[in-house]
Amino acid sequence: MRALYAVGLFLAGLLAHWWWCTYLPFYGLAPQLLLVLTLAVASQYGPVAGQCYGFFWGLFLDALDVHLFGANALLLTGTAYLVGAGRRQMDMSTPASQAAMTAILSLLYFVALAGLGLVFQRQAFWAGWAALLVIPVYNGLLAPVLFSLAERALRPTARPW
Amino acid sequence: MGGKRIANYLLVFFSAVSLTLLCLPMSPLVQSFKAGLSYLFNPIPFHGSRAAERFSRIPSSIRHLILADIENRELREELKNAALLKAEAESLRRENERLRGELGIKPGQGRLLLWARVVKRESPNWFRFLLVDAGEKDGLELNAPVLGLKGGTLGAVGRITEIGPRWSKVLLLTDELSSAAAYIPSKQWEGLIEGQGNPKLRMNYLPEEAQFTIGEAVYTSPTSETFPPDILVGHISRVFASDPFLAFQSVEVTPAVQASVLKEVMILVRQRSK
């Protein structure tokens, strides 16, 4: 049962991310649902669960991308580890703190992705100022909702992983 | 304590796998892994878009049905005209072939047209790639040119860079790694169109003495390896200041068809010889 809930959240995340990116973009911009969900899982259920979700969600993003195969998997894993390991030191219990932390980490995610692009393909794959400035805010606004949904979806699995 | 140790092991393992994928993107093992992942994950956008389309097809009211009927009648009328146009085009093609034969020019390669739906695009990579629902089973090949039709304008969009059985990835012209030979027909100047990772394109290697007019059309060149000749690429929107260290000029080109708004694309498939 526990595994079923976990797989359910994983597939729901993939579907939601694909659906939002394809059918609900706002001026070509859509939130990084999988990044926010990874943060949600890592902050509530610890680094092990966060890393597992982050790595496989990252592989999904990489499989559908044409550049930097492995970059999203690496960054989502790293982000999940940092958030999961440091969750006792960070307050991510209120909607405001969840939104702020998500926005900051989204911005860092962009920078890290550009860094990996420079290292591995000599291209920063600059997504433009609009994406850099709007998507973190978009992610931040969605964070409280997604944190709550992730918490509800994994609650039946009881203890933190 | 045990959980922390597992987290550390996981971090090392996942990071090692990711870094291997990043460091060896062209190795057979990583390519096979990527192909396996694509087989695993691509059904999500493929079947998802099928389901979304099916839901959107359900008419919400009788008004929709009546409008569809009116549109259907209009399209039938247009189809009648299309038959005439097709006959004219066929006659022109035959005449073209005859004249080419008389001039000794090698005949152009026949291509078939295939429509495919856009089933996936990624927000930060909006100007880089698309996933479409046509693949190997539809006869697609690598580097097949992809065109878009928007508001009656046909324009070059990109080319196929990865193929699965029922899906393909389209590398857009606006991607940094894209380029195509193009020319400005009014002066016959030829250059190389290159993507910049944003909505605009850059056309390089134009002669130093060239003079440009904003709004001039840019077409794919007959020398292009990927695209058929004379497909509209876009219009000149800016002339970059000449660099004294470079022996060519560059202009900015606004694509004729913005790939980010396309719901369907046209793919030209090589006609197999009988």
> What pLDDT digit, counting tens, does each position of B130-188 carry?
889 888 888 888 899 999 888 778 899 999 998 988 889 999 999 988 999 999 988 78
Q: Do B11 and A21 touch (CB under 8 A)?
A: no
Work out the mean pLDDT of chain B and round it to a whole number.
85
Max distance between CA atoms of chain B, in angstroms, equals 84
- Using CA atoms of B136, B142, B145, B146 in order, give the dihedral in degrees to the nearest 10: 50
- Please say if the pLDDT value at position B233 is more than 90: yes
A69 closest CB neighbour out of B3, B30, B260? B30
Is A66's Cβ below 8 Å from some Cβ in B? yes
**Phi, psi at B149, each rounded to 5°:** -125, 120
What is the spatial distance between Cα B271 and Cα B259, in angstroms, rounded to a whole number? 25
Residues of chain B with pLDDT > 90, as a percent, come to: 24
Say what the pLDDT of residue B44 is: 80
Q: What is the nearest CA distance from A77 to chain B, expressed in angstroms?
A: 7
Which residues pair with residue B254 across a beta bridge?
B235
How confident is residue A89, by pLDDT bands cut at 50, 70 and 90? confident
- Per the model's pLDDT, the better-predicted residue between B26 and B124 turns out to be B26
How confident is residue B234, by pLDDT bands cut at 50, 70 and 90? very high
What is the spatial distance between Cα B43 and Cα A125, in angstroms, rounded to a whole number? 27
Q: How many CB pairs under 8 A join A and B?
A: 156
Structure-token pair, residue B25: 């993107």
Say what the pLDDT of residue B173 is: 92
Is B175's Cβ below 8 Å from some Cβ in A? yes
Is A86's Cβ below 8 Å from some Cβ in B? no
Selected residue of A15, A17, A20, A22 to mutate for chain B interface (largest B Cβ count, 10 A): A22
- Please say if the pLDDT value at position B274 is more than 50: no
HEC-encoded secondary structure of chain A: CHHHHHHHHHHHHHHHHHHHHHHCCECCECCCHHHHHHHHHHHHHHHHHHHHHHHHHHHHHHHHCCCCCCHHHHHHHHHHHHHHHCCCCCCCCCHHHHHHHHHHHHHHHHHHHHHHHHHHHCCCCCCCHHHHHHHHHHHHHHHHHHHHHHHHHHHHHCCCC
Contact yes or no for B253/B239 (Cβ under 8 A): no
Say what the pLDDT of residue A81 is: 94
Q: What is the pLDDT of residues B37-87, one digit of tens each?
A: 888 887 787 787 778 777 776 656 677 788 888 899 888 888 878 878 888
Say what the pLDDT of residue B15 is: 93
- Please say if the pLDDT value at position A2 is more than 80: no
Work out the mean pLDDT of chain A and round it to a whole number.
87
- Please say if the pLDDT value at position B123 is more than 80: no
Kindly report the number of other CB atoms within 10 A of residue A87's CB atom: 19
What is the spatial distance between Cα A115 and Cα B38, in angstroms, rounded to a whole number? 25
Q: What is the nearest CA distance from A94 to chain B, expressed in angstroms?
A: 25
How confident is residue A18, by pLDDT bands cut at 50, 70 and 90? confident
ipTM, two decimals, is 0.87
Residue of B nearest to A15 (CA): B44
What is the spatial distance between Cα B174 and Cα B257, in angstroms, rounded to a whole number? 11
Contact yes or no for B269/B140 (Cβ under 8 A): yes
Contact yes or no for A7/A158 (Cβ under 8 A): no
Strand bridging mode B264-270 / B145-150: antiparallel
Contact yes or no for A68/A125 (Cβ under 8 A): yes
Element (H, E) at B149: strand B145-150
